[in-house]
């Protein structure tokens, strides 16, 4: 959860949702590991008794509690051997043991403190065993009425391990079933969450459909298809406390729909920051991402020379990841001084300046469960150029001049040619029809991106999950019609 620890969008979502749920008045508690990068602060309080975590063999951990600004409670699980390093996910290592411990700690925290929530909301494979405990070891205890909601932020990472993991987890071996948590003879923590959760959500409606297909299901499309009736996609919102061009304290100038003069100042600062030619008339195209195949920026690297040759544009890249791609962009910056800028690394402040100063934002993702940067871009009047996949399709409206519609430029095929043509299209509109760019910008900035709408949908999902859970247990038997969710429109 940002700002405690962040790898990608999941951290932003958990933080935003925490704030909104506390605002609705719910007693909300977040439990996450205390990673090596997190140091105790004066507001942290160490719980007097250590937490007994009933994995096999049992172990103890220290638990820190701290009030979140919103009124929620943060809980940090300290276990140096498991979480003492800086990284959230340890590269080239089996991380499953670390997160089995987290899953069990959630259950044991409830027992030890006597706090039994109505719903436990789990995120990605790292929390996939929590719904399994609720359906197995907890059936005779006070937690058995707790419903679970499992949110998939990314299907690619699944938390796979040998069947011995079940023994460590203190779970019965009969769960090792292909119609349950076993996949290709291994324990699969993502599948465990999908199979056992009361309700499943994905971070966009379109991704909920895509993951049921072989192309996007990463081998678990059937498991998801089997849970179709209990699955819903909810598009992420934007945390406007952090991403609002009118108040963003990291920018050299603020701006809004009514007065875009600050955006021009940000563009100039961006051009200066990357030693680009300072010229307001040249469009700046930007990309910020983890440089891995998912994000499709290899397609941009492939056409970079062509773009530089054919179009009068500038390009700025911020990211890190695949060394070959890092090198490709660094080389491009050297080959095209004044026209291509590149920063390899993670820099949150710089990402704000890029979103504010750029004119277009490039996201040619091969898959994108939701994607946040296209939404930040639109809020900052920077027009997204996206591939039609996952949440990119749900959030970016295609430019259609005759209908006076659109908040960006979309293309369907994950190919360098399709990306090249779409950048060319946007560049032609920039130079030939600046009034159209202004209108696109207005529409993009007007888009309602706040979390309020999505958070209300999550609250509905919690109610839906509680209703289903209690009915399943025979506790709710009345003739009331079961809780149903309203249809979720794309935004
Ligand atoms: P994912 O979760 O797949 O990485 P998202 O678009 O959902 O993709 O979220 C990525 C988040 O991480 C965004 O907030 C983005 O601004 C941020 N981000 C990614 N790479 C960097 C970087 N190199 N520097 C700063 N922020 C970054």
For the Cβ of 319 lying below 6 angstroms from any atom of ligand 1, the answer is yes
Q: 80 C-alpha to center of ligand 1: Å?
A: 27
Closest CA to 382 of 226, 245, 274, 210: 245
Beta-carbon neighbour count of residue 62 at 10 Å?
Answer: 15
Confidence of residue 92 (pLDDT cuts 50, 70, 90): confident
Q: 289 C-alpha to center of ligand 1: Å?
A: 5
Q: Each residue of 377-422: pLDDT tens digit?
A: 999 999 999 999 999 999 999 999 999 999 999 999 999 999 999 9
The partner residues of 61 in beta bridges, in order of sequence, read: 51
Q: Each residue of 424-481: pLDDT tens digit?
A: 999 999 999 999 999 999 999 999 888 988 999 999 999 999 999 999 988 877 766 7
CA-nearest residue, atom 1 of ligand 1? 8
**How confident is the model at residue 262, as a pLDDT?**
98
Among 2, 3, 9, the mutation site with the greatest number of ligand 1 atoms within 8 A of its Cβ is: 9
CB 47 within 8 A of CB 65: yes
**How confident is the model at residue 9, as a pLDDT?**
87
Six-digit token pair at 244? 């609002």
Q: 111 C-alpha to center of ligand 1: Å?
A: 36
Provide mean pLDDT across the span 320-343. Answer: 98
The secondary structure element, H or E, covering residue 424 is helix 416-432
Q: Each residue of 21-39: pLDDT tens digit?
A: 999 999 999 999 999 999 9
Q: Each residue of 143-185: pLDDT tens digit?
A: 999 999 999 999 999 999 999 999 999 999 999 999 899 999 9
Residues in the chain: 491
Mean pLDDT of the chain: 95
**How confident is the model at residue 239, as a pLDDT?**
86
Q: Each residue of 408-420: pLDDT tens digit?
A: 999 999 999 999 9
Residue 246 to residue 123: CA distance in whole angstroms: 31
Confidence of residue 72 (pLDDT cuts 50, 70, 90): very high
Q: 347 C-alpha to center of ligand 1: Å?
A: 10
Closest CA to 362 of 300, 454, 275: 300
Q: Which residue has the higher pLDDT, 487 or 205?
A: 205
**How confident is the model at residue 479, as a pLDDT?**
60
Confidence of residue 486 (pLDDT cuts 50, 70, 90): low
For the Cβ of 373 lying below 6 angstroms from any atom of ligand 1, the answer is yes
DSSP letters, 301-348, are HHHHHHHHHH---EEEEEEEE-HHHHHHHHHHHHHSTTTEEEEES--H
The partner residues of 201 in beta bridges, in order of sequence, read: 151, 232
Residue 449 to residue 379: CA distance in whole angstroms: 8
CB 286 within 8 A of CB 362: yes
For the Cβ of 8 lying below 6 angstroms from any atom of ligand 1, the answer is yes
For the Cβ of 408 lying below 6 angstroms from any atom of ligand 1, the answer is no
DSSP-based three-state secondary structure for 36: coil
Confidence of residue 491 (pLDDT cuts 50, 70, 90): very low
């Amino acid at each position: 959860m940002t700002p405690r620890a962040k790898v990608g969008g999941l951290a932003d979502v958990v933080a935003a949702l925490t704030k909104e749920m506390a605002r609705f008045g719910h007693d909300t508690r977040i439990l996450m590991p205390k990673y090596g990068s997190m140091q105790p602060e004066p507001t942290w309080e160490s719980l007097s008794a250590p937490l007994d975590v009933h994995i096999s063999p049992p172990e103890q951990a220290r638990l820190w509690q701290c009030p979140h600004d919103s009124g929620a409670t943060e809980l940090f699980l300290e276990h140096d051997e498991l979480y003492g390093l800086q990284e959230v996910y340890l590269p080239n290592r089996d991380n499953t043991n670390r997160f089995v411990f987290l899953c069990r700690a959630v259950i044991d925290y409830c027992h030890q403190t006597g706090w039994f929530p109505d719903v436990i909301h789990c995120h990605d494979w790292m929390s996939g065993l929590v719904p399994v405990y609720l359906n197995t070891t907890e059936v005779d205890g006070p937690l058995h009425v707790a419903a679970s909601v499992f949110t998939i932020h990314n299907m690619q990472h699944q938390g796979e391990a040998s069947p011995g993991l079940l023994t460590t987890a203190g779970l019965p071996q009969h769960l090792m079933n292909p119609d349950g948590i076993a996949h290709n003879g291994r324990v699969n923590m993502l599948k465990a969450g999908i199979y056992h959760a009361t309700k499943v959500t994905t971070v966009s409606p379109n991704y909920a459909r895509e993951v049921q297909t072989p192309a996007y299901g990463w081998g678990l499309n059937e498991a998801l298809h089997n849970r179709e009736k209990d699955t819903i996609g909810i598009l992420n919102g934007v945390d406007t406390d952090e991403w609002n061009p009118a108040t963003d304290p990291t920018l050299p100038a603020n701006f809004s729909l009514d007065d875009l003069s600050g955006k021009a100042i940000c563009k100039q600062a961006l051009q200066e920051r990357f030693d680009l030619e300072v010229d307001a008339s040249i469009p700046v195209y930007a990309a910020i991402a983890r440089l891995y195949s998912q994000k499709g920026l290899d397609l941009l690297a492939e056409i970079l020379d062509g773009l530089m040759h054919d179009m009068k544009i500038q390009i700025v890249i911020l990211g890190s990841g695949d060394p070959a791609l890092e090198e490709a962009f660094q080389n491009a910056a050297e080959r095209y001084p004044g026209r291509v800028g590149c920063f390899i690394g993670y820099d949150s402040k710089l990402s704000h300046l890029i979103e504010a100063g750029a004119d277009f934002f490039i996201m040619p993702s091969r898959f994108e469960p939701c994607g946040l940067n296209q939404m930040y871009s639109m809020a900052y009047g920077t027009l997204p150029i996206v591939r039609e996949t996952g949440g990119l399709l749900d959030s970016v409206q295609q430019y259609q001049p005759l209908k006076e519609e659109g908040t960006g430029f979309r293309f369907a095929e994950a190919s360098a040619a399709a990306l090249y043509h779409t950048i060319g299209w946007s560049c032609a509109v920039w130079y030939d029809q600046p009034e159209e760019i202004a209108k696109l910008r207005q529409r993009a900035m007007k888009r309602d991106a706040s979390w309020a709408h999505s958070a209300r949908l999550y609250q509905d999902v919690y109610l839906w999950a509680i209703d289903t859970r209690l009915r399943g247990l025979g506790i709710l038997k009345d003739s009331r019609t079961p809780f149903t969710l309203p249809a979720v429109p794309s935004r």
